[in-house]
């Protein structure tokens, strides 16, 4: 079982992490990444319920759930945590102090919403539970528990498995189903699973319904805009070759991850999908990468982000990078520079 951490990152044991978060004498706001997916949602839910069983005030701030997550919640009639959301807004209005727990994300600089940035800025301490590669910023007081497992909920399950409340938590059918969905979703239906993944599933299926959750996730229908984006991504692709490795580069406005996955299914070994983003008055170039080769995309993107002044990270075979556009440099020039640098690193990695 892999328990790697990033170089220079403080390593804490499950016991140390739990002691620190339970010693927090303020309410704890649990914050998933923007466009929260099933894994972020289930991880947040698991930890919220654990903290409440320990007598803590804990609230999930689910601001912008992804379409996939909204469909999943609706299909299984799961919690939306709307009361938690309202409570957090009230806390912010009353300038109440709080601790923050980030789940399924470690770099708070990647948040684009000014509301969420404000939430991060005003927190007294940040706790992190995550499974992605990438450097953790150190501008704020941070306690992180990060293991590079296929899903964040597996990291959370490991944290809690020796606690007396654990058996009670996973007996909750709705929560068990959410956790099963998270593992299925983030492991691509076990294709990226590790041995430990099956242990967690074996415990969850005692009370959850694996068959039902599997069917709900497998029978999803893609919306028309996403289908159009996937077709446009294929139409616009540029095909490159390094040895026997086929690399596609394409540009699209949205659904970058879906397009990158689609290009792999068409035969690419590595797919790079570029998009231009604008948040408030700032412009960014975002590149999503996917790989079927044994190339650490997250390490490549993290290294490049550091040199270009952006943020990047993810998993070995699925990662993303976001670089701000300099006022002097045109977007097109920046796109060319980013792709050129990625290809240069890939060439060295593949040779």
Residue 7 within a domain: no
127 touches 100 (CB < 8 A): yes
282 touches 111 (CB < 8 A): no
* Same domain, yes or no: 183 and 309: no
* Same domain, yes or no: 231 and 201: no
* Same domain, yes or no: 269 and 314: yes
> What's the sign of the alpha-carbon dihedral 234, 240, 245, 250?
negative
Residue 292 within a domain: yes
Structure-token pair, residue 178: 């959410």
* Same domain, yes or no: 315 and 293: yes
Residue 3 within a domain: no
Looking at the structure of the chain, the number of domains it has is 2
* Same domain, yes or no: 183 and 230: no
Closest CA to 2 of 158, 186, 167: 158
* Same domain, yes or no: 258 and 134: no
CATH number of the domain bearing residue 139: 3.90.1640.10
User: Tens-digit pLDDT profile for the chain (351 aa)?
Assistant: 444 544 434 568 999 999 999 999 999 999 999 999 999 999 999 999 999 999 999 999 999 899 889 999 999 999 999 999 999 999 999 999 999 999 999 989 888 888 899 999 999 999 999 998 888 887 788 999 999 999 999 999 999 999 999 999 999 999 999 999 999 999 989 988 999 999 999 999 999 999 999 999 988 778 899 999 999 999 999 999 999 999 999 999 999 999 999 999 999 999 999 999 887 778 889 999 999 998 999 999 998 998 888 889 888 889 999 998 875 567 888 899 899 999 999 988 887
Which structural domain, as residue segments, surrounds residue 332? Answer: 226-350
218 to 94, 184, 214, 226, 293: CA distances (angstroms): 44, 10, 6, 17, 25
H helix intervals, the chain: 14-22, 38-53, 67-76, 82-93, 114-121, 152-160, 166-170, 173-186, 195-204, 210-218, 224-235, 256-265, 297-308, 331-350
Domain boundary among 218, 246, 261: 218
The residues with which 287 forms a beta bridge, in sequence order, are 274, 321
* Same domain, yes or no: 143 and 47: yes
């Amino acid at each position: 079982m892999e328990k790697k951490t990033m170089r220079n990152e403080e390593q804490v044991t499950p016991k140390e992490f739990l002691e620190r978060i339970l010693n927090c004498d303020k309410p704890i706001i649990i914050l998933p990444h923007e466009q929260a997916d099933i894994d972020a949602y289930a991880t947040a839910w698991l930890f919220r319920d654990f903290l409440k069983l320990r007598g803590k005030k804990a609230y999930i701030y689910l601001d912008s759930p992804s379409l996939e997550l909204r469909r999943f919640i609706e299909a299984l009639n799961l919690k939306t945590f709307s009361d938690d959301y309202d409570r957090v807004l009230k806390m912010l209005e009353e300038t109440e102090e709080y601790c923050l727990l980030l789940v399924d994300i470690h770099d708070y600089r990647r948040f684009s919403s000014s509301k969420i940035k404000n939430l991060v800025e005003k927190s007294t301490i940040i706790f992190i539970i995550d499974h992605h590669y990438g450097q953790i910023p150190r501008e704020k007081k941070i306690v992180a528990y990060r293991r590079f497992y296929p899903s964040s909920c597996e990291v959370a399950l490991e944290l809690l498995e020796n606690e007396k409340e654990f058996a009670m938590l996973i007996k909750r059918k709705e929560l068990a189903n959410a956790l099963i969905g998270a593992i299925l979703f983030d492991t691509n239906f076990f294709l990226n699973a590790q041995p430990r993944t099956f242990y967690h599933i074996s415990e969850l299926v005692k009370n959850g319904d694996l068959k039902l959750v599997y069917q709900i996730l497998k029978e999803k229908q893609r919306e028309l805009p996403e289908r159009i984006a996937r077709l446009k991504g294929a139409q616009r692709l540029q095909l490159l070759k390094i040895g026997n490795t086929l690399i596609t580069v394409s540009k699209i406005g949205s659904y970058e991850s879906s397009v990158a996955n689609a290009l792999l299914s068409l035969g690419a070994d590595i797919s790079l999908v570029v998009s231009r983003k604008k948040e408030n008055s700032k412009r960014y170039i975002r590149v999503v990468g996917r790989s079927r080769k044994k190339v650490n995309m997250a390490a490549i993107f993290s290294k490049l982000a550091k040199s270009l002044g952006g943020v990047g990270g993810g998993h070995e075979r699925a990662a993303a990078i976001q670089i701000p556009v300099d006022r002097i440099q045109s977007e097109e020039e920046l796109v060319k520079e980013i792709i050129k640098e990625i290809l240069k690193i890939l060439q060295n990695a593949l040779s």
